[in-house]
């Protein structure tokens, strides 16, 4: 061997060592920056998103654009610090590792020789050769169940989860609803419809899946099982569209995504929806390639059942695939595969079978609508809140709010997925195949749909309304990684680039992304369910049980905890605290249960339980009577959504305490909600007359008067707020309104 060759190999070895060290250092820096250097990433990991929805952030501002720009700037700053900077170092780690591999291969192989089998196919071959598929799926299912019980336990943390369980329990008795109990307002809970019948505000697809698990007493294992099937279908779809290596990469990226995992340990619908949509994609492609009639029927049935689970999320994908199907029919087949006019009859038959399969479930959905709401075209969520609609203008929704919600969701999606997944997905589009283009359009569907949805956030493990993106992004990201290796191979550079990128991303995701997101996102749900654990502990030995009357104020929405069995068979009954006559009916309904008053102390963050009143209502002090009327008014408004009844409670309170400004304030709030602006204005004025230092009511009056067109009076009251309030936020908004009105707006 010549000295020149030896020197060249020595230099190559030195370069390899330096590049490997740089790759390791970059990965460690990424880990440090993500977890320790800058805690801003926790902002994106929180599960309670209501405070960050546009409806909450921009409410009350005269010119939303004025506050939009600093808010979007702050959001992007947080995103840059929390995600972009660590992701850059992950990318550098991948880059240096690939360069190191090229150096190593150049040292060990003849010049210009590339590996015959790409790394993603070799990795898939090793996986299949060692028969790891079943073992990995079993391990995944076990880990999901362990994570469920380890982080959330047997707690139903959200109203959505409770609503799905409630409907499943009803349907387990072959019913779609139960008669409303008497008195119905006392038992109205979050996400439960009352139109003379009680049922969930959501469609019945997911409750159907829950039924057997409800019957065995363990609904918490359904989603882990569905998650495993979704991973299997993702793998099969990857093989059908591309190859085994792409399939393996996509399945693993899906399986380790915190977005996928954390939603799959809840009792929310998104994992089930994803499974049936992936089944639709797989069967749709197979329908165009194979002659069996089972595939188009299964494709139609899958998208039909997905529609039963999430009808809104299905709308745009159905429109997309109608267009795709028309294109395929015109072309006579899939581009690049079998095409021609002779094939159109076959394709038309395929599409008709798909329509037949979907029609069965569409017909069932219309029947359920009719049975529950009286109209096949009226959904249960419309019966729950008639104002809940889609489009700009609804609930004050506009382009500024839409841009904010979309940007906030997109930044959270970046954070909740393994790093660089979206970046590699974008890169894959340069492959310029119909498969990648179709998947990209699928990923865009939720962004288009939810741009026009007002959205208020709430308990969200990641941007869950955009869960459909998981049907496409793992596949696209896998193709992006593979594309890098293909480009290197075209330049005669040998390196398992796809496998390197894949392994580094998975390693960083498991070590740096997943643990932090789990801890941060499950903290709020764990705290939320403390009430039910507290009740179980305190009243475990209460004989036949208790009746817990939940009291509330605008800041203590205890009505979200009104959860009972459909037949009220639970030991401890939870009821909304309403007027005393209605409360008395509840107590008489359960004569062997002890009534208890429940409240929440915001200062100590503790639940308090006190015995029922030992005196008749007439014997109570005036202050306690006022508190009862205010509490019942808020509960009628928030829990029952009956503003007329809430106004009635305020009026009854004023008969007891005619000089009580708080009752006039509450009455004004309820009149405004009931669209009685003139009545609300008068109530606010009386409240202010009785308590001139109440700046919040003065501000509310000013906003109301501006809406009524009384600009001069509104300006005068905004000026009072600016001069009298010590709250800087109120002062700032009042000043903005005053400037807005002074400009003639």
Q: Which two tokens stand for residue 617?
A: 């209502």
Q: Is the dihedral of CA 86, 88, 94, 100 positive or negative?
A: negative
Q: What is the predicted pLDDT for the residue at 744?
A: 73
Q: What is the predicted pLDDT for the residue at 674?
A: 92
The pLDDT tens digits of the residues spanning 186-224 come to 999 888 999 999 999 999 999 999 999 999 999 999 999
> Contact 215/222 with Cβ under 8 angstroms?
no
The pLDDT tens digits of the residues spanning 624-640 come to 999 999 999 999 998 88
pLDDT band at residue 38 using 50, 70 and 90 as cut-offs:
low
- To 10 degrees, the CA torsion angle through 241, 245, 247, 250? -120
Compute the distance between CA of residue 489 and CA of residue 118 in angstroms, rounded to an integer. 9
> Contact 282/237 with Cβ under 8 angstroms?
yes
Q: What is the predicted pLDDT for the residue at 112?
A: 47
> Contact 219/165 with Cβ under 8 angstroms?
yes
pLDDT at 229 over 90: yes
> Contact 639/556 with Cβ under 8 angstroms?
no
Compute the distance between CA of residue 195 and CA of residue 197 in angstroms, rounded to an integer. 5
Q: Which two tokens stand for residue 513?
A: 């992304």
Cβ atoms within 10 Å, residue 128? 12
The CA angle 562-565-567, to the nearest 5 degrees, is 120
Q: 485, 373, 489: which is closest to 112 by C-alpha?
A: 489
Q: 149, 194, 148: which is closest to 564 by C-alpha?
A: 194
pLDDT > 70 in the chain, percent: 93
Q: Which residue has the higher pLDDT, 156 or 235?
A: 235
pLDDT at 587 over 50: yes
Compute the distance between CA of residue 34 and CA of residue 90 in angstroms, rounded to an integer. 10
Compute the distance between CA of residue 509 and CA of residue 265 in angstroms, rounded to an integer. 18
Q: 263, 202, 203: which is closest to 227 by C-alpha?
A: 263
pLDDT band at residue 158 using 50, 70 and 90 as cut-offs:
confident
The secondary structure of residue 151, as a DSSP letter, is: I
pLDDT band at residue 40 using 50, 70 and 90 as cut-offs:
low
Specify the range with the lowest mean pLDDT, choosing from 84-93, 305-314, 331-340: 331-340
The pLDDT tens digits of the residues spanning 421-458 come to 999 999 999 998 999 999 999 999 999 999 998 877 77
Burial readout 548-557 (b: 16 or more C-beta within 10 A, e: otherwise): bbbbbbeeeb
Q: Which two tokens stand for residue 713?
A: 């009076």
Scanning 332-398, the segments in alpha helix (DSSP H) are 344-373, 380-384
The secondary structure of residue 345, as a DSSP letter, is: H
pLDDT at 77 over 70: yes
pLDDT at 302 over 80: yes
Q: What is the predicted pLDDT for the residue at 1?
A: 47
Query: Helix 344-373 to helix 270-289 angle, to the nearest 10 degrees?
Result: 160
Q: 700, 692, 640, 693: which is closest to 667 by C-alpha?
A: 700
Contacts 24+ apart (CB under 8 A), 708-717: 708/677, 708/678, 708/681, 711/741, 714/741, 715/741, 715/742
pLDDT at 397 over 90: no
Q: 114, 73, 95: which is closest to 27 by C-alpha?
A: 95
Give DSSP secondary structure letters for 544-606.
T-EEEEE--BTTB-GGGG----TTS--SSEEEE---HHHHHHHHHHSTTSEEEEEEEETTTTE
Q: 303, 145, 242, 279: which is closest to 498 by C-alpha?
A: 242
Q: Which residue has the higher pLDDT, 8 or 581?
A: 581
Calculate the average pLDDT of the chain.
Answer: 88
The CA angle 338-344-346, to the nearest 5 degrees, is 85
**DSSP SS3 for 71:** helix
> Contact 461/248 with Cβ under 8 angstroms?
no
Question: What are the residues facing 573 on neighbouring strands?
Answer: 547
Mean pLDDT over residues 545-560, rounded? 75
Compute the distance between CA of residue 550 and CA of residue 574 in angstroms, rounded to an integer. 7
Q: Which of 125-139, 335-349, 500-514 has the highest mean pLDDT?
A: 500-514
Question: What are the residues facing 194 on neighbouring strands?
Answer: 198
pLDDT at 294 over 80: yes
Q: Which of 241-255, 327-341, 509-523, 718-732 has the highest mean pLDDT?
A: 241-255
Scanning 172-221, the segments in alpha helix (DSSP H) are 184-187, 205-215
- Measure Cα distances from 120 to 472, 480, 592 in Å: 19, 12, 67
pTM: 0.92
The pLDDT tens digits of the residues spanning 13-33 come to 668 889 999 999 999 999 888
Note the maximum CA span of the chain: 109
Compute the distance between CA of residue 69 and CA of residue 64 in angstroms, rounded to an integer. 9
Give DSSP secondary structure letters for 186-251.
HH--TTEEESSEEEESS-SHHHHHHHHHHHTT-GGGHHHHHHHHHHHHHHHHHHHHS-HHHHHHHH
Mean pLDDT over residues 125-153, rounded? 84
The pLDDT tens digits of the residues spanning 471-524 come to 999 999 999 999 999 999 888 888 899 999 999 999 999 988 888 888 877 776
pLDDT > 90 in the chain, percent: 60
pLDDT at 553 over 70: no
Place of tokens 């850059």: 88
> Contact 688/665 with Cβ under 8 angstroms?
no
Q: What is the predicted pLDDT for the residue at 343?
A: 83
pLDDT band at residue 155 using 50, 70 and 90 as cut-offs:
confident
Please name the residues in contact with 625: beta carbons below 8 A apart, sequence gap of 6 or more: 617, 653, 656, 657
Q: Which two tokens stand for residue 457?
A: 């956030």
Place of tokens 């060249």: 8
């Amino acid at each position: 061997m010549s000295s020149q060759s030896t020197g060249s190999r020595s230099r190559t070895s030195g370069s390899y060592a330096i590049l490997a060290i740089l790759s390791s250092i970059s990965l460690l820096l990424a880990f440090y920056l993500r977890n320790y250097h800058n805690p801003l990433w926790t902002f994106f990991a929180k599960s309670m998103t209501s405070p960050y929805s546009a409806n909450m952030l921009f409410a009350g501002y005269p010119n939303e654009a004025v506050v939009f720009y600093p808010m979007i700037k702050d959001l992007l700053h947080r995103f840059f610090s929390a995600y972009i900077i660590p992701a850059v170092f992950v990318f550098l780690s991948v880059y240096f590792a690939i360069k190191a591999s090229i150096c190593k291969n150049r040292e060990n192989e003849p010049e210009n020789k590339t590996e015959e089998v790409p790394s993603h196919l070799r990795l898939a071959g090793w996986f299949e050769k060692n028969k790891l598929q079943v073992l990995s799926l079993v391990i995944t299912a076990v880990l999901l169940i362990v994570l469920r019980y380890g982080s959330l336990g047997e707690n139903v943390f959200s109203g959505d989860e409770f609503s799905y369980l409630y409907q499943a329990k009803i349907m387990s008795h072959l019913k779609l609803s139960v008669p409303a109990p008497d008195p119905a307002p006392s038992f109205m809970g979050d996400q439960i419809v009352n139109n003379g019948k009680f049922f969930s505000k959501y469609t019945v697809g997911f409750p159907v899946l829950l039924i057997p698990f409800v019957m065995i007493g363990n609904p918490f294992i359904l989603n882990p099982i569905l998650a495993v099937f979704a991973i299997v279908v993702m793998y099969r779809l990857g093989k059908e569209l591309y190859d085994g290596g792409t399939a393996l990469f996509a399945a693993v990226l899906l399986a380790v995504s915190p977005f996928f995992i954390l939603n799959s340990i809840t009792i929310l619908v998104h994992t089930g929806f994803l499974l049936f949509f992936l089944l639709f994609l797989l069967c749709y492609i197979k329908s165009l390639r194979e002659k069996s009639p089972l595939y188009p029927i299964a494709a139609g049935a899958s998208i039909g059942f997905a529609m039963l689970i999430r009808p809104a999320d299905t709308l745009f994908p159905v429109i997309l695939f109608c267009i795709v199907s028309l294109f395929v029919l015109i072309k006579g087949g899939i581009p690049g595969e079998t095409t021609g006019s002779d094939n159109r009859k076959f394709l038309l038959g395929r599409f008709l079978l798909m329509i037949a399969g979907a029609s069965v479930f569409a017909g069932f959905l219309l029947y359920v609508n009719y049975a529950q709401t009286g109209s096949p075209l009226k959904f249960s969520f419309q019966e729950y809140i008639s104002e809940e609609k889609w489009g700009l203008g609804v609930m004050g929704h506009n382009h500024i709010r839409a841009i904010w919600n979309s940007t906030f969701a997109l930044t959270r999606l970046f954070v909740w997925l393994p790093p660089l997944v979206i970046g590699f997905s974008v890169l894959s589009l340069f492959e310029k195949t119909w498969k990648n283009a179709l998947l990209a359009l699928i990923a865009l569907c939720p962004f288009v749909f939810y741009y026009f949805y007002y959205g208020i956030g709430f308990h969200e493990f990641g941007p869950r309304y955009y869960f459909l993106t998981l049907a496409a992004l793992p596949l696209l990201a896998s193709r992006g990684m593979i594309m890098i290796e293909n480009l290197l191979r075209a330049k005669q550079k040998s390196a398992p680039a796809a496998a390197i990128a894949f392994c580094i991303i998975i390693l960083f995701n498991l070590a740096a992304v997943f643990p932090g997101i789990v801890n941060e996102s499950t903290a709020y749900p764990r705290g939320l369910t403390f009430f039910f654990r507290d009740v179980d502990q305190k009243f475990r030995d209460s004989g036949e049980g208790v009746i817990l009357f939940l009291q509330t104020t605008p800041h203590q929405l205890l009505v979200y905890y009104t959860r009972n069995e459909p037949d009220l068979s639970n030991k401890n009954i939870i009821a909304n605290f309403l007027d005393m006559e209605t409360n008395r009916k509840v107590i008489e309904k359960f004569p062997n249960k002890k009534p208890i008053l429940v409240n929440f102390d915001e200062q100590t963050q503790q639940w308090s339980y006190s015995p029922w009143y030992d005196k008749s209502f007439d014997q109570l002090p005036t202050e306690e009577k006022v508190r009862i009327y205010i509490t019942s008014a808020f509960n009628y408004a928030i829990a029952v959504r009956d503003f007329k009844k809430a106004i009635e409670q305020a009026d009854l309170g004023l008969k007891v305490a005619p000089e009580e400004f708080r009752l006039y304030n509450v009455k004004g709030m309820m009149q405004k909600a009931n669209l009685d602006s003139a009545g609300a204005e008068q109530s606010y004025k009386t409240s202010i007359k009785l308590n001139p230092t109440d700046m919040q009511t003065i501000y509310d009056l000013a906003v109301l008067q501006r809406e009524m067109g009384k600009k001069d009076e509104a300006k005068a009251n905004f000026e009072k707020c600016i001069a009298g309030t010590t709250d800087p936020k109120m002062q700032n908004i009042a000043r903005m309104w005053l400037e807005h009105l002074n400009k003639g707006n």
